[in-house]
């Protein structure tokens, strides 16, 4: 007996039904906003990740040499791939480019709750607009997806920040400060001890006094952002504060301001973010990890050799999203759903097949016997797949020109003329023939 | 600028729209028959493939050692994975188990037309029934999927054979014959020169006279299958001929007999098949390769350490299916589709956002400006994404309580009261307000 590889999961049909419903909801919201699906490869040149994030990133990836001597990596995220695709057809693509894609990614990580080595997410990105409306639309898609899943405003919050505020504040301190390292420290603020956090900032170049001051600044409330501008005294911070405010205003226009709270301690770990960044959290705190995040990455396309092209995106991941939905009690039922079971006994195959075909033509899930089973065994099976209605096609009934409908929940039965079934009915039930 | 890895493809939005429509059709037919989606990992233990097909198979796969020292392979096909999953939950799963899954697979192959190193297919399998109805249902799902794509009965044919007829005939010859090798030779019959084919059969143990006789037997017409039974004189061939006939009869019950033709020279390359096998071909021959295939593999689950569990399946692959659909002129248009573009100018954002939200709530694809563009630039963009209707939300109109609808195909415009839009209309167009 073989086992699956550690950190990789098998999704059996009931669980997959719940996952598919969730993915369908997210994708249908993205489609509604005019995001277009793209298809992307599972392997990329390992060099692409090394160039973008440093050679050390390869330690966390599935990297190997293929039989043609290419050093390749199983894609750990979609952003570099879509950036590559934008660069490859930059001239031909009308802007804004609005893409989405749902697929697995892979990282060689410690396996824990909500974290696997193979994980699924829907990436949703806009390329070619630097307007606050674009950031707000990404927030709106994410919010509509979550409410579409049945989550309430009290269930989740988007903690919104701005990379250039963080960078601008750091630049305002005396001394040689490694801004990327300091921002990575901020990203870890909620996850590590206070001392370790201070150590990381000190290593990044801040003095102990600067660490305290910086951390105070990070907790500035939303209505006092001008204090940050005063502290830094630079156009960069003034512009960043203005941009953040404009994004929140645009989010209000789109009806999703209520989900957003200012949180300068939200930094996002990845180096490529340049503007507004945000993370979605469980508002109750029961799910302690960030559910997913997103933000603006205006320099990546140019860094990949393309024309300067602003970009902003979000990527709901299904492992953590499932935890949030389960906590909130809105995770779809993990069970099979069947509209009809056509129970066929005796020499009635042709009629049974015709009825099954007609019901399928109306868009229903219709099973019938493929195992040569008895009446009773078929009824048991129909029950096991949660069939709503069983259509019994028996020899004696059929000789009288009839079939029998059985509603499985109530046990109610009704004989109906075979030529009138399903007839004009889109979704015939016992009640239609009372 | 980075390139994609050789044999791997990027699907941009227009092409992906056509692929998604195709995949949706195939999946929706499978769902209609009660096949349930499962989710499966991209990596499996390489040993699983070596055990099943011999160490040499690893030469064709993407195999590597992960950072934990596991020898893993990118999955080249789904059958071993679903067999592993059946074995892992054998007791808990109600039979028949009917599963489908659409995803990429990977093989390190020569890249050519319709063949890539990353390729997508929908696997559709039934576990737990040895009845001819199960084989026929798999044929029916495949046929309904193809006709659902718009293909006509004259566009494709299923060439149906039976592994046990081939094996039984080979066993009837004197001499030591390697049946698997001979069946692999039959699988290559149409693809190689007659001499090479004869050589392969000779290498498998047949004498030159036996090669001729065997090949004659393979071209026995459907109405003279009893001659094969007479030739072999074994229960095995008699049972196989009876089973093949029963499957074709069951296919007739399900309304798909017309797509099936008997073809004993259809063998399928994989060793694990045990009963009926079939391949779908372009009936015109323009697409010369097999489009996809399927068949019965009753021994695999037991070979994987499970209880004996009969199984039958089919796996439409999208690279060759696209070639067939394109040849037949039924490949979906590779273009973006947009129901509405909400064109917003001046201080009308809130109303525009409300209208966009309402239209999205009715299930439509609705874009609006995220780039701060002028009226004309927005109209050009709306045209570039094939918007059917543009809803113009302008300041002056709005002051009069109106918005303007513009049908892009005709250029017709109509002013409508803003409070009545979209109102009761599910899919409002200019015509609704004439």
**Which of B297, B334, B380 shows the shortest CA–CA distance to B82?**
B297
- Average pLDDT, stretch A192-199? 92
Which residues fall within 8 angstroms of residue B254, CB to CB, at 6 or more apart? Answer: A353, B136, B137, B139, B140
Confidence of residue A406 (pLDDT cuts 50, 70, 90): very high
**Which of B118, B103, B106, B111 shows the shortest CA–CA distance to B8?**
B118
pLDDT at A265 over 90: no
At residue B174, φ and ψ (nearest 5 deg) are: -70, 155
CA dihedral B53, B267, B75, B120 (to 10 degrees): 170
Q: A357: which chain B residues are within 8 Å (Cβ-Cβ)?
A: 255
Percent of chain A with pLDDT over 70: 100
Say if the Cβ atoms of A6 and B68 lie within 8 Å: yes
Say if the Cβ atoms of B40 and A10 lie within 8 Å: yes
Confidence of residue B190 (pLDDT cuts 50, 70, 90): confident
Residue of B nearest to A21 (CA): B37
Mapped onto helix, strand or coil, the DSSP state of residue A426 is: coil
Residue of B nearest to A116 (CA): B41
Say if the Cβ atoms of A16 and B36 lie within 8 Å: yes
Which residues fall within 8 angstroms of residue A299, CB to CB, at 6 or more apart? Answer: A272, A274, A308
pLDDT tens for each residue of B116-150: 999 999 999 999 999 999 999 999 999 999 999 99
Look at residue B187 in the predicted model and tell me its pLDDT: 86
Confidence of residue A137 (pLDDT cuts 50, 70, 90): very high
Say if the Cβ atoms of A304 and B1 lie within 8 Å: yes
Edge to edge, the sheet with strand A402-407 lists: A366-368, A338-344, A387-393, A402-407, A413-417
Say if the Cβ atoms of A45 and B370 lie within 8 Å: no
Look at residue A113 in the predicted model and tell me its pLDDT: 79
Q: Identify from B17, B26, B32 which residue to disrupt to test chain A contact, counting A C-beta atoms within 10 A and taking the largest count.
A: B32
Q: B305: which chain A residues are within 8 Å (Cβ-Cβ)?
A: 1-2
Say if the Cβ atoms of B253 and A131 lie within 8 Å: no
- Average pLDDT, stretch B214-220? 91
Whole-angstrom distance, CA of residue B95 vs CA of residue B296: 16
Backbone conformation region of residue B13, classed left if phi is above 0, alpha if psi is from -120 to 50, else beta: alpha
Look at residue A187 in the predicted model and tell me its pLDDT: 86
Percent of chain A with pLDDT over 90: 85
pLDDT tens for each residue of B44-76: 999 999 988 888 899 999 999 999 999 999 999
Look at residue A217 in the predicted model and tell me its pLDDT: 92
Say if the Cβ atoms of A38 and B11 lie within 8 Å: yes
Vertex B188, ends B187 and B193: CA angle to 5°? 150
Residue of B nearest to A25 (CA): B363
- CA-derived radius of gyration, chain B: 28
Distance from the Cα of residue B415 to its chain's centroid: 47
Instruction: Give, as one character, the DSSP assignment of residue B4.
Output: P
Confidence of residue A43 (pLDDT cuts 50, 70, 90): very high
Q: Identify from A7, A9, A34, A61 which residue to disrupt to test chain B contact, counting B C-beta atoms within 10 A and taking the largest count.
A: A34
Shortest Cα distance, chain B CAs vs residue A175, angstroms: 36
Whole-angstrom distance, CA of residue B86 vs CA of residue B90: 5
Confidence of residue A272 (pLDDT cuts 50, 70, 90): confident
pLDDT at A7 over 90: yes
pLDDT tens for each residue of B254-283: 999 999 999 998 877 667 889 999 999 999
Backbone conformation region of residue B255, classed left if phi is above 0, alpha if psi is from -120 to 50, else beta: left
- Average pLDDT, stretch A39-47? 97
Whole-angstrom distance, CA of residue A375 vs CA of residue A431: 23
pLDDT at A85 over 90: yes
pLDDT tens for each residue of B311-362: 999 999 999 999 999 999 999 999 999 999 999 999 999 999 999 999 999 9
- Average pLDDT, stretch A173-192? 88
pLDDT tens for each residue of A292-303: 999 999 999 999
Say if the Cβ atoms of A48 and B2 lie within 8 Å: yes
Look at residue A115 in the predicted model and tell me its pLDDT: 86
Whole-angstrom distance, CA of residue B51 vs CA of residue B339: 52
Domains and CATH numbers, chain A: 13-40+75-328 (3.30.930.10), 338-433 (3.40.50.800)
Confidence of residue B40 (pLDDT cuts 50, 70, 90): very high
Residue among A64, A67, A129 minimizing CB distance to B370: A129
Residue of B nearest to A51 (CA): B2
Whole-angstrom distance, CA of residue A218 vs CA of residue B421: 45
Shortest Cα distance, chain A CAs vs residue B31, angstroms: 6
Look at residue A412 in the predicted model and tell me its pLDDT: 95
Residue among B85, B371, B384 minimizing CB distance to A10: B85
Shortest Cα distance, chain B CAs vs residue A127, angstroms: 10
Shortest Cα distance, chain B CAs vs residue A93, angstroms: 10
Q: To the nearest whole number, what is the mean pLDDT of chain B?
A: 94
Shortest Cα distance, chain B CAs vs residue A154, angstroms: 21
Look at residue A95 in the predicted model and tell me its pLDDT: 94
Look at residue B54 in the predicted model and tell me its pLDDT: 85
- Average pLDDT, stretch B72-86? 97
Look at strands A292-296 and A338-344 and give their pairing: unpaired
Percent of chain B with pLDDT over 70: 100
Say if the Cβ atoms of B96 and A349 lie within 8 Å: no
Confidence of residue A37 (pLDDT cuts 50, 70, 90): very high
Shortest Cα distance, chain A CAs vs residue B209, angstroms: 42
Say if the Cβ atoms of A371 and B128 lie within 8 Å: yes
Say if the Cβ atoms of B253 and A47 lie within 8 Å: no
Backbone conformation region of residue B173, classed left if phi is above 0, alpha if psi is from -120 to 50, else beta: beta
Look at residue B114 in the predicted model and tell me its pLDDT: 78
Q: B85: which chain A residues are within 8 Å (Cβ-Cβ)?
A: 10, 12
**Which of A32, A25, A30, A73 shows the shortest CA–CA distance to A53?**
A73
Q: A90: which chain B residues are within 8 Å (Cβ-Cβ)?
A: none
Say if the Cβ atoms of A2 and B84 lie within 8 Å: yes
- Average pLDDT, stretch B106-123? 92
Say if the Cβ atoms of B42 and A6 lie within 8 Å: no
Say if the Cβ atoms of A353 and B2 lie within 8 Å: no
Say if the Cβ atoms of B39 and A371 lie within 8 Å: no
Confidence of residue B420 (pLDDT cuts 50, 70, 90): confident
Look at residue B399 in the predicted model and tell me its pLDDT: 94
Q: A370: which chain B residues are within 8 Å (Cβ-Cβ)?
A: 96, 126, 129, 131, 133-134, 137
């Amino acid at each position: 007996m073989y086992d699956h590889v550690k950190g990789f999961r098998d999704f059996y049909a009931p669980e997959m039904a719940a996952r598919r419903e969730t993915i369908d909801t997210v994708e249908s919201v993205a489609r509604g906003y005019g995001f277009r699906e793209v298809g992307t490869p599972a392997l990329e040149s390992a060099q692409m990740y090394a160039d973008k994030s440093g050679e050390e990133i390869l330690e966390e990836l599935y990297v190997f040499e293929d039989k043609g001597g290419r050093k390749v990596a199983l894609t750990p995220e979609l952003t570099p791939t879509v950036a590559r695709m934008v660069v490859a057809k930059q001239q031909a693509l009308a802007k804004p480019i609005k893409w989405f894609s749902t697929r697995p990614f892979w990282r060689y990580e410690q396996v824990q709750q909500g974290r696997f080595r193979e994980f699924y997410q829907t990436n949703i990105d806009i390329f070619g607009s630097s307007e606050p409306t674009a950031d707000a639309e990404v927030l709106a898609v994410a919010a509509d997806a979550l409410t579409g899943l049945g989550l309430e405003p009290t269930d989740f919050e988007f903690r919104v920040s701005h990379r250039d505020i963080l960078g601008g504040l750091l630049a305002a301190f005396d001394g040689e400060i490694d801004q990327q390292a300091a921002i990575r420290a901020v990203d870890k603020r909620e996850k590590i001890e206070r001392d370790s956090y201070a150590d990381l900032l000190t290593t990044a170049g801040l003095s102990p006094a600067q660490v305290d001051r910086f951390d105070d600044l990070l907790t500035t409330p939303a209505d006092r952002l001008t204090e940050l501008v005063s502290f830094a005294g630079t156009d960069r911070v003034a512009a960043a504060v203005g941009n953040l405010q404009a994004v929140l205003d645009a989010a209000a226009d789109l009806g999703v301001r209520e989900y957003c709270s200012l949180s300068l301690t939200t930094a996002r770990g990845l180096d490529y973010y340049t503007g507004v960044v945000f993370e979605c959290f469980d508002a109750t705190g029961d799910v302690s990890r960030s559910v997913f995040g997103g933000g603006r990455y205006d320099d990546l396309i140019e860094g990949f050799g393309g024309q300067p092209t602003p970009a902003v995106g979000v990527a709901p991941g299904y492992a953590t999203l499932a935890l949030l939905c389960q906590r909130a009690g809105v995770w779809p039922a993990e069970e099979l759903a069947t509209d009809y079971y056509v129970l066929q006994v005796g020499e009635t195959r042709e009629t049974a097949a015709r009825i099954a075909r007609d019901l399928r033509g109306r868009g229903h899930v219709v099973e019938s016997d493929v195992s040569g089973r008895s009446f009773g065994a078929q009824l048991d099976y129909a029950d096991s797949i949660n069939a709503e209605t069983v259509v019994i096609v028996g020899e004696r009934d059929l000789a009288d020109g009839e079939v029998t409908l059985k509603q499985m929940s109530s046990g109610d039965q009704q004989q109906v003329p075979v030529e009138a079934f399903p007839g004009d009915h889109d979704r015939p039930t016992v009640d239609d023939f009372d």
